Amino acid sequence: MAIREFGELESAIMDALWRADRPLAVREVRESMDYDRDVAYTTVMTVTNILFHKGLLDRRKCGRAWQYWPRESREEHTARVMREVFSGCGDPHTTMLRFVESCSDEDMARLGAALREVRSRRARAS
């Protein structure tokens, strides 16, 4: 199950921008989106502007068009959303416990490797 912070169109726009290796104009975003139905240019422009005002995108003027790019990588964004979920829950320990209980063995191995890597980085930094 995916985190549902975004609506379908917002997700399609963010995915297109996360896949891009450079800032994109709205026309390019629209052309590169994976979306089930045709969406008007003006709709993509409006939603992209909303994502900018929400603080999720940066932009710069290029001629008459705006070019957009994500303020954070997909992974940084997901990690921030996860921190917000854990900090906003009633009992962080129990929430973390329930989360870990729901992890597959493969996810547990990745979690263990991530914890070892962070501990190692912190030990080197101090």
Contact at 8 Å (CB) between 77 and 67? Answer: no
Digit-coded pLDDT (tens) for 30-83: 999 999 899 999 999 999 999 999 999 999 999 999 999 999 999 999 999 888
Render pLDDT for 4-34 as a digit per residue (tens, 0 to 9): 578 999 999 999 999 999 999 999 999 999 9
CATH topology of domain 8-70: Arc Repressor Mutant, subunit A (1.10.10)
For residue 112, the cross-strand partners are none
Domains of the chain, by residue range, sit at 8-70, 89-125
In 3D space, the residue among 79, 72, 57 whose CA is nearest the CA of residue 3 turns out to be 79
